[in-house]
């Protein structure tokens, strides 16, 4: 990564003395990486044009027609590069795209993963032309970035590294896919064959919860075998440092509804008499979570796998972004006293929405909240669900899973509707895994700078499903800039991160099979 260009101004003082600081970066990239970067600059317009066209294809996970169009486009993109590619089907699931490129004499197989589906879009929320009308800006649009052309970016070279290409899935994960495929182009131009057998698995359901992924993996288990699965999802470290991530938290959603009178009542005439579901909801939520974010549900932390001394040391060896992030996000405090890198190793209960009134002087009939639980190894969705329901019952509520009828509401003083969404467990690969240590050393050699080793990504990926079915090592190598508006309006990818991603994947392809 081009550290001096990528690190934001408020982090420069930290970065100067951090482990990826200028002194270490001055060692410089190795010969292959320099050659790849030279190729990138010479072919920037072609790379950006393919990226723009790919981003123009709508890919909302719920749009089955659009998803299949993207899948077919990916098969064509892989085939043009000499990769044997096809769609993988599983009943009820969007297709995955599988590709294979064998290298004569290679003793290892590396599977590269990304997902090609995207989050839902609300077009009116986009400042740019729209989620599927890619637009290039010479800076963050929310900080005044101006429109630019791809030709201008190609001509500007490194001066355009902080320019950003806006579209849904630019960072999550279409940019990673373009980086992988362009890395193949760069190696071919350099007269280099990959040192490993390469496989590609591009999922089409990740943003919809990967509810069919276990069946997909089971149906194609032998085809999907590899010595390493390398995921390319999520953002890089908040300082811009390249990081090799060894796991991710699991996730599960919950819709919670409490009940009051059968119709809204005037708060003056009936206040202090009719149960107020909004007030009861705040008490119930407060009973689940302490002020520092600790989950106070009995037994919740009992199955949590302790972090190791090596995990803790790896986190503390990373540059600390906390002070800079607090300034950027205008926060006078953080919820926990733990630094961010350690805080995300804990399970979390997040309240994502609240509703229970209209702003009028009324006691409403219902009050609702949506929650998400971020789970860490060795918590499971079933275990979390059982503990939460037991806790709600301990607070005096009769738990139902479908809307209650009048008889249920009259019979029970307190009724809580719990509507659970799908989910998956957290996963963590040991930092001591030999192939992980080898890949980490390879990356540092390739870019000429320190690379972080991170036990867990704060966000969630269905890594546990892959581990349970395939029983193979899993690591994650994110390329996106941390301020990419992932899942929101104005999602984008910083161009410097795209160029870095190409160089990094070229290094993996050419170096993980042996000496470079």
514 — pLDDT class (breaks 50, 70, 90): low
* Span 343-351, average pLDDT: 95
Angle between helices 44-55 and 31-42 (to 10 degrees): 70
Number of H helices, E strands in the chain: 19, 21
DSSP characters over 459-483: EE-THHHHHHHH---EEE---B-TT
Proportion of the chain above pLDDT 90, given as a percent: 89
Q: What is the pTM of this model?
A: 0.88
At residue 200, the pLDDT reads 98
Is the separation of the CB atoms in 126 and 492 below 8 Å? no
Give me 338's structure tokens. Answer: 């733990």
At residue 16, the pLDDT reads 31
- Domain spanning 3-246+429-511, CATH architecture: 3-Layer(aba) Sandwich (3.40)
At residue 359, the pLDDT reads 83
Is the separation of the CB atoms in 370 and 353 below 8 Å? yes
* Span 330-354, average pLDDT: 94
Give me 12's structure tokens. Answer: 């420069």
At residue 29, the pLDDT reads 87
pLDDT at residue 20 is higher than 70: no
* Residue spans per domain, the chain: 3-246+429-511, 250-304+346-424
| CA separation for the pair 366, 264 (Å, rounded) | 9
pLDDT at residue 18 is higher than 80: no
CATH match for 250-304+346-424 among 3.40.50.300, 3.30.70.360, 3.90.1150.10, 3.20.20.140: 3.30.70.360
pLDDT at residue 10 is higher than 70: no
At residue 459, the pLDDT reads 87
Share the mean pLDDT of the chain. Answer: 92
Q: Nearest 5 degrees, angle CA 55-CA 475-CA 197? A: 80
Is the separation of the CB atoms in 140 and 491 below 8 Å? no
At residue 360, the pLDDT reads 87
Question: What are the pLDDT digits (tens) for 371-408?
Answer: 999 999 999 999 999 999 999 999 999 999 999 999 99
* Span 145-151, average pLDDT: 97
pLDDT at residue 181 is higher than 60: yes
pLDDT at residue 271 is higher than 90: yes
pLDDT at residue 236 is higher than 90: yes
Question: What are the pLDDT digits (tens) for 477-508?
Answer: 999 999 999 999 999 999 999 999 999 999 99
At residue 27, the pLDDT reads 63
26 — pLDDT class (breaks 50, 70, 90): very low
Q: Which comes out higher in pLDDT, residue 114 or 336?
A: 114
At residue 453, the pLDDT reads 95
How far apart, in Å, are the Cα atoms of 43 and each of 40, 154, 165, 410?
Answer: 5, 8, 17, 71
Question: What are the pLDDT digits (tens) for 32-80?
Answer: 999 999 999 999 999 999 999 999 999 998 899 999 999 999 999 999 9
How far apart, in Å, are the Cα atoms of 406 and each of 46, 54, 259, 280, 398?
Answer: 64, 52, 11, 20, 14
pLDDT at residue 296 is higher than 60: yes
């Amino acid at each position: 990564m081009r550290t001096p260009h990528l690190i934001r101004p408020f982090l420069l003082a930290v970065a100067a003395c951090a482990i990826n600081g200028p002194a270490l970066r001055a060692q410089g990239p190795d010969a292959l990486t320099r050659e790849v970067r030279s190729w990138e600059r010479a072919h920037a317009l072609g790379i950006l044009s393919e990226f723009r066209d790919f981003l123009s294809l709508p890919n909302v996970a719920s749009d089955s027609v659009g998803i299949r169009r993207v899948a077919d486009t990916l098969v064509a993109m892989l085939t043009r590069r000499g990769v044997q590619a096809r769609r993988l089907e599983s009943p009820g699931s969007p297709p995955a795209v599988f590709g294979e490129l064998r290298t004569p004499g290679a003793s290892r197989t590396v599977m590269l993963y990304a997902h090609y589906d995207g989050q839902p879009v609300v077009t009116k929320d986009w400042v740019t032309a729209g989620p599927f009308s890619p637009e290039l800006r010479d800076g963050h649009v929310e900080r005044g970035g101006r429109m630019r052309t791809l030709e201008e970016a190609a001509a500007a070279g490194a001066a355009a590294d902080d320019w950003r290409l806006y579209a849904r899935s630019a960072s999550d994960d279409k940019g990673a896919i373009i980086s992988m495929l362009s890395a193949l182009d760069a190696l071919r131009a350099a007269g280099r064959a990959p040192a490993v057998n390469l496989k590609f698995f591009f999922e089409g359901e990740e943003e919809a919860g990967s509810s069919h992924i276990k069946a997909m993996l089971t149906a194609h288990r032998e085809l999907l075998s590899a010595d390493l699965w390398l995921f390319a999802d999520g953002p890089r470290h908040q300082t811009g440092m390249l990081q090799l991530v060894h796991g991710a938290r699991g996730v599960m959603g919950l819709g919670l509804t409490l009940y009051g009178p059968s119709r809204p009542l005037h708060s003056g005439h009936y206040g202090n008499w009719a149960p107020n579901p909004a007030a009861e909801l705040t008490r119930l939520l407060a009973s689940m979570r302490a002020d520092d974010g600790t989950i106070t549900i009995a037994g919740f932390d009992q199955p949590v796998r302790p972090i190791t001394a090596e995990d803790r040391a790896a986190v503390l060896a990373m540059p600390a972004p906390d002070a800079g992030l607090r300034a950027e996000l205008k926060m006078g405090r953080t919820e926990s006293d733990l630094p961010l890198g350690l805080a995300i190793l804990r399970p979390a209960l997040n309240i994502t929405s609240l509703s229970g009134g209209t702003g009028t002087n009324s006691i409403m009939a219902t009050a609702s909240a949506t929650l998400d639980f971020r789970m860490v190894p060795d918590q499971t969705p079933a275990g979390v669900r059982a503990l939460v329901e037991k806790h709600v019952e301990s607070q005096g509520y009769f738990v139902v899973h479908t809307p209650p009828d009048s008889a249920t509401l009259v019979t029970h003083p307190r009724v809580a509707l719990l509507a659970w969404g799908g989910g998956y467990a957290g996963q963590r690969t040991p930092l001591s895994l030999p192939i992980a240590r080898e890949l980490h050393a390879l990356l540092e050699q390739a870019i000429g700078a320190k690379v972080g080793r991170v036990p867990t990504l704060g966000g969630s990926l269905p890594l546990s499903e892959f581990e349970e079915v395939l029983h193979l090592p899993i690591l994650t190598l994110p390329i996106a800039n941390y301020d990419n508006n992932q899942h929101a309006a104005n999602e984008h990818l910083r161009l410097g991160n795209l160029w870095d991603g190409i160089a990094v994947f070229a290094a993996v392809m050419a170096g993980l099979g042996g000496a470079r």
